[in-house]
Structure formats: C-alpha cells, structure tokens
C-alpha cells in the first residue's frame, strides 16, 4: 500500500502509566453509590469491549467512523500540509489506529505517540503499524488521557512541531467543561505553534443519532451490557445481564447522546462484596457523546487558545475534522 520514503528501522517502545489513580474497582464502587448511578465510559474497552466497538464502527447506522475515514481519505493530504516535516504526532484514544494510517503515510512523522487505555488494542495496532511503516518510531503509552499526563521523551529525532490527533469524536465523551480542560492540557503538550487535529461529530436530526446508538442488530446494546459482564468477571459481581436493558437517546436540548443500563426489575446486586439496590426503571449512566456544530467546537477550542486553520466536512454534513493551531 505504501512506499517507504524514510529509511532505517523505527524503534517501538511501550509505556504503561495506568498504575496511578483510582482503579476500575474504585470507580465502579463509587459510581454505583451515587444517587444517579454512573460508570465512566473508558471502562467499556476491555478486550471484548474493544472488539465490540470495532463491530459498532462497521454498523450501517453508525455513520461516524466511515464518514470520518472518507473525509481523511480526501483531505489528509491538505491537513498534513499544514503540519510540515519533522512533526511529532500524538494521538489520544488511538484504538486500532486505522484513520491514523492515512496521516502517518502522508506526514511521515518523526515520532508517533499513541495514547490508549486498552492495552490489547494498542499492542495490536502498533504491531500492525510497525509492519506497514518499518521506519516509524513509536512511543506507545497505555494511559487514561482523562488525567494529567506527561508523555515520554524520545531522544535523537528532530521535532519541529507537535500535533495532537484526536479522531473519532472521542472528545464527545467529555462534558463541554471537561473538554475545555482537556484541550487546555493538549495546548500545554503541543505548545505555541502546535496543532490539534480533531474529529468531531456534528449535530443532526434526532432520528439519525438515536439509530446510531441503538442499532437494529443490538451490537451497541451488547457493548453497553458488556460493562456489567466485565464487572462480574473482574470485580466478583453478580449482575444478571438479562435483567438490564440498553437505553440510548439523543437529548436535543443538551446536544448529546446519553447511554444508560436500565434495571428492568427491583433487584439487588453485589460487587466486590458490597450490595447495591435497583428500583425498576433505575439506570446506570454509562456514556455521553456530545455533538458540536462547527461554530460551537471552534468556540470551545478558543477557550484553550486554539484557533481554526481549516475544517473539512463530508457532503452530508455528518462529521467535521478540525485543524487548529495553538496561539
Ligand atoms: C468512541 C466515544 C466516539 O460516542 O460515538 C459508540 C463510543 N458508544 N457507540 C461515540 C460509542 C456507543 C463513541 N466514541
């Protein structure tokens, strides 16, 4: 697929920064004790959850992945031209790094730094990238990018610019307030003159969004319910998956998808030796996915001193890829 223009063998290093901070157990026990029970979406991505997410990306109703991919196939070249040579490319939530291949192929970054919470997905993606791009230097980081993070150095490669690539509308998992704080952290990483390339899902008709998060085949339901299976397996839980249902809807007023796991009955569940009661209809809030118009996202990024360089959308205006520069 690609002709290597760089010569020499790349170096791949792995770092794991997951140890610090609250564990899965801490977050689940604290989240289930809240009046509105809730568990952070980053815990969807165990090995099975990462595979289910990849299956979601192929669903007919889930337009974001293929739409962003089409935008990048068309426009990665002109986005990369804004970055220039000797760029260090940092990616948050890199997953399978499929869209990133288009960037790497055209940019030939001096260093690629994928940051991903799912170690199995990260290792598979880096193995694949090293095969495709044997010249590529990689500092692969297993970490929660929702927390402050210092990225490992890589000595001896030229770096003229840093670019954070944040595709997949993953930024939608943050509230706008959290997103502003996250972007301020990105601004610190790239420095003045650094770039942000972000894939952001656009606001659109409720019917389209509802279907994208509640597909006919029930894969998204399986993805959501897998969180309970993971709790059972890793935390000694006794959730009966049949006694909960997937619930997802677009809240037009808040401009966001909400996903919940709804208890179908009055029931009692145990996790790590603790007891939790559910009323019928009571939910565990598992995810938000905020949607932004081009103008709304620009205003949000401006709070972190990023200004718009270019925005690329698809013909149907489903999805936007923003290229922004830190001032
Ligand atoms: C990976 C957070 C971008 O919000 O669209 C897909 C996750 N959840 N279907 C999204 C997801 C249900 C996805 N992000």
HEC per residue, the chain: CCCCCCCCCCCEEEEECCCCCCCHHHHHHHHHCCCCCECCHHHHCCHHHHHHHHHHCCCCCCHHHHHHHHHHHHHHHHHHHHHCCCEEEEEECCCCCHHHHHHHHHHCCCEEEEEECCHHHHHHHHHHHHHHCCCCCEEEEECCCCCCCCCCCCCCCCCCEEEEEECCCHHHHCCHHHHHHHHHHHHHHHCCCCEEEEEEECCCCHHHHHHHCCCCCCHHHHHHHHHHHHHHHHHCCCCCHHHEEEEEEEECCCCEEEEEEEECCCEEEEECCEEEEECCCCEEEEEEEECCCHHHHHHHHHCCCEEEEEEEECCCCCEEEEEEEEC
| Ligand 1 atom with minimal separation from the 248 CA | 12
| Ligand 1 atom with minimal separation from the 41 CA | 2
Mean pLDDT of 145-168: 92
Choice among 14-23, 59-68, 123-132 with the minimum mean pLDDT = 14-23
What is the per-residue pLDDT for 202?
A: 98
Ligand 1 geometric centre to CA of 11 (Å): 31
What is the per-residue pLDDT for 224?
A: 98
Tokens of 77: 């070249």
| Ligand 1 atom with minimal separation from the 287 CA | 8
Mean pLDDT of 63-77: 97
Mean pLDDT of 292-314: 98
**Substitution candidate for ligand 1 out of 226, 286, 287 with most atoms within 8 A of CB:** 287
As a whole-number percent, the residues of the chain with pLDDT over 90 amount to 90
Mean pLDDT of 224-240: 98
The closest residue, in CA terms, to atom 1 on ligand 1 is 170
CA 213, 214, 219, 222 torsion-angle sign: positive
CA 224, 228, 229, 233 torsion-angle sign: positive
d(CA 224, CA 174): 17
Ligand 1 geometric centre to CA of 169 (Å): 8
**Substitution candidate for ligand 1 out of 172, 199, 286 with most atoms within 8 A of CB:** 172
What is the per-residue pLDDT for 167?
A: 96
Q: How far is CA 104 from CA 12, 13, 48, in A?
A: 15, 17, 27
Mean pLDDT of 278-307: 98
Confidence band for 4, pLDDT divided at 50, 70 and 90: low
d(CA 145, CA 115): 7
What is the per-residue pLDDT for 312?
A: 98
**Substitution candidate for ligand 1 out of 59, 169, 178 with most atoms within 8 A of CB:** 169
**Substitution candidate for ligand 1 out of 94, 118, 168 with most atoms within 8 A of CB:** 168
Q: What separation, in Å, do the N-terminal and C-terminal C-alpha atoms of the chain show?
A: 36
d(CA 90, CA 92): 7
Ligand 1 geometric centre to CA of 63 (Å): 11
What is the per-residue pLDDT for 18?
A: 87
What is the per-residue pLDDT for 59?
A: 98
The closest residue, in CA terms, to atom 4 on ligand 1 is 289
Ligand 1 geometric centre to CA of 147 (Å): 19
d(CA 32, CA 30): 6
Tokens of 65: 């992945």
| Ligand 1 atom with minimal separation from the 170 CA | 3
Ligand 1 geometric centre to CA of 327 (Å): 30
95 by Cβ neighbours in 10 Å (0-12 / 13-18 / 19+) ranks as buried
Q: 271-295 burial string, b = 16+ CB within 10 Å, else e?
A: beeeebebeeebbbbbbbbbbbebe
For all residues of the chain together, what is the average pLDDT? 95
What is the per-residue pLDDT for 317?
A: 98
Residue 320 pLDDT exceeds 80: yes
> 168-198 pLDDT, tens per residue?
999 999 999 999 999 999 999 999 999 999 9
Mean pLDDT of 117-131: 93
Which residues have any ligand 1 atom within 6 Å of their CB?
56, 64, 168-170, 172-173, 213, 220, 287, 289
Confidence band for 97, pLDDT divided at 50, 70 and 90: confident
> 197-230 pLDDT, tens per residue?
999 999 999 999 999 999 999 999 999 999 999 9
Ligand 1 geometric centre to CA of 3 (Å): 33
| Ligand 1 atom with minimal separation from the 257 CA | 4
| Ligand 1 atom with minimal separation from the 212 CA | 9
Residue 100 pLDDT exceeds 90: yes
Confidence band for 45, pLDDT divided at 50, 70 and 90: very high
Residue 3 pLDDT exceeds 60: no
């Amino acid at each position: 697929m690609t002709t290597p223009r760089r010569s020499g063998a790349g170096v791949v290093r792995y770092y794991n920064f997951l140890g610090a901070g609250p564990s899965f157990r801490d977050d689940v026990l604290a989240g289930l004790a809240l009046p509105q029970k809730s568990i952070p979406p980053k815990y969807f991505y165990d090995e099975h959850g990462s595979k289910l997410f990849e299956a979601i990306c192929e669903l007919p109703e889930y337009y974001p992945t293929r739409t962003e991919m089409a935008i990048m196939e068309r426009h990665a070249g002109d986005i990369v031209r804004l970055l220039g040579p000797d760029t260090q490319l940092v990616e948050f939530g890199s997953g399978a790094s499929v869209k990133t291949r288009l960037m790497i192929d055209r940019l030939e970054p001096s260093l690629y730094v994928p940051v991903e919470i799912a170690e199995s997905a990260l290792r598979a993606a880096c193995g694949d990238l090293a095969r495709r791009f044997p010249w590529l230097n990689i500092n692969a980081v297993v970490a929660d990018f929702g927390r402050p993070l210092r990225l490992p150095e890589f000595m001896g490669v030229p770096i003229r610019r840093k670019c954070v690539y944040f595709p997949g509308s993953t930024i939608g998992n943050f509230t706008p307030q959290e997103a502003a704080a996250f972007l301020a952290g990105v601004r610190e990483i790239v420095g003045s003159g650094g770039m942000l390339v972000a894939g952001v899902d656009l606001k659109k008709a409720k019917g389209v969004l509802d279907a994208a998060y509640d597909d006919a085949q029930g894969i998204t339901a399986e993805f959501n319910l897998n969180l309970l299976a993971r709790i059972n397996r890793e935390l000694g839980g006794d959730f009966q998956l049949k006694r909960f249902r997937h619930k997802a809807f677009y809240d037009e007023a808040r401009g966001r998808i909400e996903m919940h796991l709804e208890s179908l009955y009055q029931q009692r569940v145990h996790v790590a030796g603790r007891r939790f009661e559910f009323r019928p209809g009571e939910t565990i809030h598992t995810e938000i996915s905020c949607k932004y118009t081009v103008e709304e996202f620009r205003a949000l990024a401006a709070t972190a001193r990023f200004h718009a360089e270019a925005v690329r959308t698809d013909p149907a205006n489903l999805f936007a890829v923003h290229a922004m520069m830190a001032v």
